[in-house]
């Protein structure tokens, strides 16, 4: 069963490399994936939200979610699982960006994206903002597959951990805000 999953994971990456990569998409996805380095895109957007009363709660909750995702993903799960990067195990896969962390599971970029998006979805005042956050998170996960630095299962688990972190940050906010009232 595990072998079948690993083969499927690798097969999807090779299909993306062969059938989806293009001269137009490569610079776009490469730039976008780099915007997620160290969670910077999500941190910057969350900090900007702190300056506006209507989005301040979203900024605080998403920064909290991002901290949870950093602890869970980069501090704990990547070291416990120790899964190597796909180009080291999938013959013929060529990564488009350099990754210095040897651990692949789960995707930290995807986790950070979904942590912020999950928090924003629950706290932003306008529907279009919520949807934009989700779209940006999905694109981050796809960018990690496109550039060949994560297996699909890394991205899927990064998404799930991110959703959990956003949910936990919202629960913490509600508890804190309830005590202040």
Q: Which residues are catalytic?
A: 109, 150
Alpha carbon distances (Å) from 165 to 24, 51, 98, 127: 34, 23, 27, 21
Q: Which two tokens stand for residue 17?
A: 């490399």
For helices 152-180 and 127-146, angle between their N-to-C axes, nearest 10 degrees: 150
CB 104 within 8 A of CB 84: yes
> What is d(CA 49, CA 59) in angstroms, rounded to the nearest whole number?
5
């Amino acid at each position: 069963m595990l072998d079948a999953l690993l083969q499927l994971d690798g097969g999807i990456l090779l299909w993306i490399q062969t059938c989806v990569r293009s001269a137009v998409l490569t610079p776009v996805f490469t730039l976008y994936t780099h915007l997620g380095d160290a969670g910077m895109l999500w941190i910057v957007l969350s900090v900007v939200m702190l300056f506006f009363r209507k989005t301040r709660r979203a900024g605080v909750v998403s920064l909290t979610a991002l901290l949870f995702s950093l602890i869970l993903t980069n501090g704990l799960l990547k070291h416990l699982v120790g899964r190597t990067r796909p180009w080291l195990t999938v013959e013929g896969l060529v990564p488009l960006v350099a990754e210095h962390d040897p651990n692949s599971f789960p995707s930290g970029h995807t986790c950070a994206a979904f942590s912020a998006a999950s928090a924003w979805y629950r706290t932003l005042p306008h529907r279009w903002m919520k949807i934009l956050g989700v779209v940006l998170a999905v694109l981050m996960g796809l960018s990690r597959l496109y550039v060949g630095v994560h297996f699909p299962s890394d991205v899927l688990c990064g998404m799930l951990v991110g959703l959990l972190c956003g949910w936990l940050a919202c629960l913490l906010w509600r508890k804190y805000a309830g005590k202040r009232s």
